[in-house]
Structure 1
Amino acid sequence: MSAPRRAVLTALATTAGHLSTEEIATAVAEIAPQVHRTSVYRALAALSELGVVQHVHLGHGATAYHLTGTRGPHLHAQCRQCGRIIDLPADLLVGVADRMGALHGFELDATHVALSGLCADCAA
């Protein structure tokens, strides 16, 4: 395994939650200062393609990453007020996916986007 991939995996494994590309690059710089930022981006793309890392597109064009691990595929919601990301069960939108398929022949894959709303704390 290449040094950039190893450093990215270490950064993700030692930090809870979902990390932005910038947060991962910063963590990698501390773990392996010799790894160039461009190599971090390439490693993230490769690890995502391999299914080791999952990415999710957040509001305003941001992307967050996390290890796939034992959780398997799942959905995400992001609080539009505090930015908190919540993992959701993969089958949450099955009814919506079935309806989209029936009406439009569309196969929904919502694992790479975050639903937007308010978390319980911000809604209170």
Structure 2
Amino acid sequence: MTAPGEAAPAPTPRPGDPDVRRRLRACGLHLTEPRRAVLAVLAEQGGHLSAEHVVAQVALMAPGVHRASVYRSLEALTDAGIVQHVHLGHGATAYHLTDDAGEHLHLQCDGCGVVLDAPVALLGPVRRRLLRDQGFVLDAAHVALSGTCERCRT
């Protein structure tokens, strides 16, 4: 979901995109049936999906793909930078396709659970200070910041 006044995200990778194949090849991987099915689910469903949701949707789309293959595909696609995962409240992990906009922050509402995207630049000063003062490199896109969305506040 895009915040008001923010540019719409770039198109998400599709299973047949040449860039997807190139990125996989760069990691020594091929576009297998399970990876193609995972990409299709993430592209069609959009948003931030749990691994179990992806498994269930792949089972409907490609019944011959084993659930373990879906988990391995999510891991391989994440390692290739085509999929990103984020830890949402209480350790739940969600997956989404990356896009040309690159890394972004995730904001999760404590009230309704909605996950919003925000530019990673918002934490630029915090990242720089942590690096300068403590030598710590912040990976802010890997976890969701919690709070209350506009709808739940009203």
- Superposition TM-score, scaled by structure 1 size: 0.97
In the other structure, the counterpart of 1:37 is 67
Distance 1:93 1:25 in 2: 33
In the other structure, the counterpart of 1:66 is 96
Number of positions where the alignment pairs a residue of Structure 1 with one of Structure 2:
124
Which deviations, in whole Å up to 9, do the C-alpha atoms of 1:1-57 show, x marking residues without a partner?
Answer: 111100000000101211111111111011101101111000000000000001000
Q: CA RMSD in A?
A: 0.8
Tell me the SS of whatever aligns to 2:86. strand
- Superposition TM-score, scaled by structure 2 size: 0.78
CA apart distance, 1:101:
1.2
In the other structure, the counterpart of 2:45 is 15
Residues 1:93 and 2:136 aligned together = no
CA apart distance, 1:69:
2.0
Tell me the SS of whatever aligns to 2:127. helix
Distance 2:65 2:111 in 1: 34
Which sections of structure 2, spanning at least 5 residues, go unmatched? 1-30
CA apart distance, 1:71:
2.7
Which sections of structure 1, spanning at least 5 residues, go unmatched? none
In the other structure, the counterpart of 2:56 is 26
